[in-house]
């Protein structure tokens, strides 16, 4: 079966949730419905908040065990399987598009998908029948990641779904664990979420890239920026202009789970 198709795919930025996302009937249904409304991709290129590595590295191109990169959860979360096919042809294309003086591309043949990748994909493509390749973020610099996304953009023409997987607001110390998943969100989370929604609606990419100076409460919404950084790759992949669709909105334990489709 050919790995690529001639369907031009959208680009996604999604809030991926922790492993217990699978227990949330609302959020899982939203992800499943979202996937059902898009063309089925030839493969998925995943940029997860949970893999930073310089030089840029691609994950295993064969099916290997998942990378359970979390601690302190019940045993059942460590028994989850998602045997998506590897994507060796996509790995070759990534290297062809990106490899150069700024980004040398390396391979890690043993690294499985981390939870930023498989947790949402299990809900979107539960049959695990779409090849998946994960790449590392070589930096958290917004401009460098935006440029990386620009280089990856041609993959869209080959039916590849480029996904930046992070969390629209991400401060674990400020999560309302006692209030439950439907807890009223704190003001800083609401304000940051609203600012991002308006910035994307206006296609104000410069403001998003400079969010630490332009957004409200950026250091509370993102004490460290790794969960916002995949958005920069996604924006680079649609840098010639885009239509924005909010596919998932609302809050989870006070954090914004806004997830966006760019066409």
| pLDDT tens by residue, 10-35 | 999 999 988 888 899 999 999 999 99
Residue 197 lies in a domain: yes
Residue 3 lies in a domain: no
Burial 36-75 (b: 16+ CB within 10 A, else e): eebeebbbbbbbbbbbeeeebbbbbbebbebbbeeeeeee
Q: What is the pLDDT of residue 84?
A: 97
Residue 133 lies in a domain: yes
Helix ranges, the chain (H): 25-36, 88-98, 115-124, 142-152, 187-201, 205-209, 211-214, 218-221, 229-237
User: How far, in Å, CA of 178 to CA of 85, rounded?
Assistant: 39
User: How far, in Å, CA of 222 to CA of 215, rounded?
Assistant: 11
Q: What is the pLDDT of residue 2?
A: 44
Residue 230 lies in a domain: yes
Residue 96 lies in a domain: yes
Mark the ranges of the chain whose per-residue pLDDT is less than 70.
1-3, 102-103
Domain count, the chain: 1
Residue 207 lies in a domain: yes
Q: What is the pLDDT of residue 3?
A: 61
Residue 4 lies in a domain: no
Residue 50 lies in a domain: yes
Tell me the pairing of strands 259-262 and 11-15. Answer: antiparallel
Query: Domain range for residue 82?
Result: 11-262
* 116-127: pLDDT as tens digits: 999 999 999 999
With contact defined as beta carbons under 8 Å apart, do 245 and 260 qualify?
A: yes
Q: What is the pLDDT of residue 177?
A: 75
Q: What is the pLDDT of residue 1?
A: 38
Tell me the pairing of strands 244-248 and 259-262. Answer: antiparallel
Q: What is the pLDDT of residue 71?
A: 87
Q: Which pTM does this prediction carry?
A: 0.95
Q: What is the pLDDT of residue 8?
A: 93
CATH number for 86: 3.40.830.10
């Amino acid at each position: 079966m050919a790995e690529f198709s001639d369907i031009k795919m959208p680009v996604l930025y999604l809030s991926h949730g922790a492993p217990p996302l699978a227990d949330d009937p609302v959020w899982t249904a939203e992800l499943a419905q979202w996937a059902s409304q898009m063309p089925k991709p030839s493969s998925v290129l995943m940029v997860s908040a949970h893999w930073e590595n310089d030089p840029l590295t691609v994950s295993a191109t064969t099916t290997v065990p998942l990378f359970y990169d979390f601690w302190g959860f019940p045993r059942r979360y460590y028994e989850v399987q998602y045997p998506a096919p590897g994507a060796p042809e996509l790995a070759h294309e990534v290297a062809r598009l990106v490899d150069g003086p700024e980004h040398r591309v390396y391979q890690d043949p043993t690294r499985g998908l981390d939870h930023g990748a498989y947790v949402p994909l299990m809900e979107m493509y539960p049959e695990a029948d779409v090849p998946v390749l994960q790449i590392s973020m070589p930096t958290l610099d917004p401009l460098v990641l935006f440029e990386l996304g620009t280089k990856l953009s041609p993959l869209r023409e080959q039916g590849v779904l480029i996904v930046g997987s992070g969390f629209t607001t991400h401060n674990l110390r400020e999560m309302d664990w006692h209030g439950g998943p439907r807890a009223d969100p704190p003001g800083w989370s609401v304000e940051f979420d609203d600012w991002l929604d308006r910035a994307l609606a206006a296609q104000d990419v410069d403001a998003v890239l400079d969010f630490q100076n332009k957004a409200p409460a950026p250091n509370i919404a993102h004490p460290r920026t790794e969960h916002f950084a995949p958005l920069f790759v996604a924006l680079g992949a649609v840098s010639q202009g885009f239509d924005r669709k909010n596919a998932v909105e609302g809050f989870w334990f006070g954090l914004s789970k806004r997830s966006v489709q760019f066409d």
